[in-house]
C-alpha cells in the first residue's frame, strides 16, 4: 500500500508539472514540486518520543491501563490533554465526576480514546511555519480537521464505524495538506528567504496530492490499511471500487463541517449521490440533528 501511495504522489506531481504553463514554473516552484515528490510519510515533523511510544502501545490489544498510563506520564503535555479529553462533554454526558488522575482518565476513555489524545498531540506537533499567507492556510486546515473529528464521531453509527475510530479519521483526514506546508516551511528555512512558488502550483498540489500523502502518513504511523485507505480516498473522486464505510464517513463528515461552518448549504441527499454513499441518509440526518442540538445546548451552557 505504501508503494502504491508513493507511486500516486510521483505520478500526480509529474502531471501537475506538465500542466503548468511555462511562465508559471520558476526555480522555487520546481524545487517545491520535487520536494513534494520525495515526501514519503517520514518527512512529517516527528512527535515527541513519548507520543510515538504511546501510539505504539495503543496498537497493542493486550495493553493494560497501568502500562499505558506509565507511558503517558513521561510527557506532561499528553497527560494534561488526556485529562481534558476525559472531562470533555462527550465523556461527561452521564454527569460523572471530574476525573483528576491519569489512570481514571485512561479508564474512562479506553485505549482508543488515549490513542486519539496522542494523535491530537502529534497533529499539533506537525504544525509548521511556512510563513506569509501560507501560515493562515495552515491554521485553517488544522481548524477544519479539529472540527471534523467530533462530527465524524457523532455520525459514526450511521456507517457502522466505532466512535473513537471515526474521531481519529476526522482528526487526520487532511494531514496530507500539512505535509505539503511542511515542504514549504523546510524550503524557506533552508533557503533563508521567502519563496516565489506560484500560487497555482500550491493549490493544485494541495488539491491533487493531500489524499495519497495523508494515506502515506497513516500507513507510516501504523494506523492500519483501512484507515490509510479511507484517508487516501475521502473525496471519493473517483469512487473506490470496493465498499468502504470509513471513506464514506469521512466524505460526509467533511461536507457536514463545511455546512455547519457556513461554507456551503446543508444537502445530505446531494452528498449521498455525489459520494455514492451506501449508508442510510435518514439515520445520519437524525444523528446530525442530535449533534447540532447538543452543540447548541453546550454553547448556551458556556
Spans of all domains in the chain: 2-45+128-301
- The region of weakest confidence among 68-72, 105-109, 153-157, 166-170 is 68-72
Give the Cβ contact number of residue 242 at 10 Å: 8
Is the pLDDT at 171 greater than 80? The verdict is yes
- Annotation: CATH topology of 2-45+128-301: Hypothetical protein af1432 (1.10.3210)
Predicted confidence (pLDDT) per residue in 243-295, tens digit: 999 999 999 999 999 999 999 999 999 999 999 999 889 999 999 999 999 88
Residue 295: all three cell numbers together: 452543540
Q: 147-153: which pairs have CB atoms within 8 A and are 24 or more residues apart? A: 147/257, 147/260, 147/261, 148/173, 148/253, 148/254, 148/257, 149/116, 150/90, 150/291, 151/253, 151/256, 151/257, 151/260, 151/291, 152/249, 152/250, 152/253, 153/90
Q: Is the pLDDT of residue 47 over 80?
A: no
Q: How many helices (H) and strands (E) does the chain have?
A: 14, 0
Q: What percent of the chain has pLDDT over 90?
A: 61
Contact residues for 42 (Cβ-Cβ < 8 A; gap 6+): 220
- The stretch 232-236 carries a mean pLDDT of 98
pLDDT band at 24 (very low <50, low <70, confident <90, very high): confident
Query: Mean pLDDT in the chain?
Result: 89
Q: How far is 41 from 295, CA to CA, in rounded Å?
A: 35
Cβ(182)–Cβ(44) below 8 Å:
yes
**Secondary structure of residue 100 in the 3-state scheme:** coil
Rounded average pLDDT over 123-147: 86
Residue 40 DSSP one-character state: -
Least confident of 33-47, 200-214, 237-251: 33-47
Residues 28, 187 contacting (CB under 8 angstroms):
yes
Q: What is the mean pLDDT of residues 94-103?
A: 82
Is the per-residue pLDDT at 129 higher than 80? no
**What is the per-residue pLDDT for 176?**
94
Tally of CA atoms within 13 A in the half-sphere of 145 that contains its CB: 26
The answer, yes or no, to whether residue 71 has pLDDT greater than 80, is: yes
Amino acid at each position: 500500500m505504501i508503494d502504491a501511495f508513493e507511486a500516486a504522489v510521483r505520478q500526480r506531481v509529474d502531471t501537475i508539472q506538465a500542466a503548468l504553463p511555462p511562465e508559471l514554473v520558476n526555480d522555487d516552484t520546481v524545487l517545491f514540486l520535487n520536494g513534494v515528490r520525495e515526501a514519503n510519510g517520514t518527512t512529517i515533523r516527528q512527535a515527541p518520543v513519548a507520543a510515538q511510544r504511546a501510539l505504539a502501545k495503543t496498537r497493542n490489544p493486550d495493553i493494560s491501563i497501568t502500562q499505558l498510563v506509565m507511558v503517558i506520564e513521561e510527557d506532561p503535555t499528553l497527560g494534561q490533554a488526556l485529562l481534558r479529553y476525559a472531562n470533555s462533554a462527550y465523556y461527561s454526558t452521564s454527569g460523572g465526576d471530574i476525573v483528576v488522575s491519569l489512570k481514571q482518565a485512561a479508564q474512562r476513555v479506553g485505549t482508543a480514546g488515549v490513542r486519539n489524545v496522542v494523535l491530537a498531540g502529534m497533529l499539533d506537533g506537525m504544525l509548521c511555519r511556512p510563513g506569509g499567507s501560507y501560515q493562515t492556510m495552515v491554521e485553517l486546515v488544522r481548524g477544519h480537521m479539529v472540527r471534523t473529528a467530533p462530527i465524524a464521531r457523532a455520525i459514526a453509527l450511521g456507517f457502522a464505524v466505532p466512535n473513537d475510530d471515526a474521531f481519529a479519521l476526522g482528526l487526520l483526514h487532511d494531514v496530507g495538506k500539512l505535509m505539503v506546508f511542511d515542504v514549504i516551511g523546510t524550503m524557506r528555512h533552508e533557503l533563508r528567504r521567502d519563496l516565489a512558488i506560484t500560487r497555482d502550483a500550491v493549490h493544485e498540489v494541495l488539491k491533487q496530492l493531500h489524499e495519497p500523502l495523508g494515506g502515506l502518513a497513516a500507513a507510516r504511523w501504523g494506523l492500519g490499511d483501512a484507515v490509510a485507505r479511507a484517508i487516501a480516498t475521502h473525496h471519493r473522486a473517483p469512487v473506490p471500487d470496493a465498499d468502504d464505510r470509513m471513506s464514506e464517513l469521512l466524505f460526509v463528515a467533511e461536507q457536514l463541517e463545511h455546512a455547519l461552518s457556513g461554507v456551503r448549504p446543508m444537502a445530505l441527499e446531494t452528498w449521498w449521490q455525489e459520494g455514492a454513499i451506501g449508508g442510510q441518509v435518514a439515520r445520519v440526518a437524525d444523528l446530525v440533528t442530535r449533534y447540532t442540538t447538543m452543540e447548541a445546548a453546550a454553547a448556551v451552557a458556556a
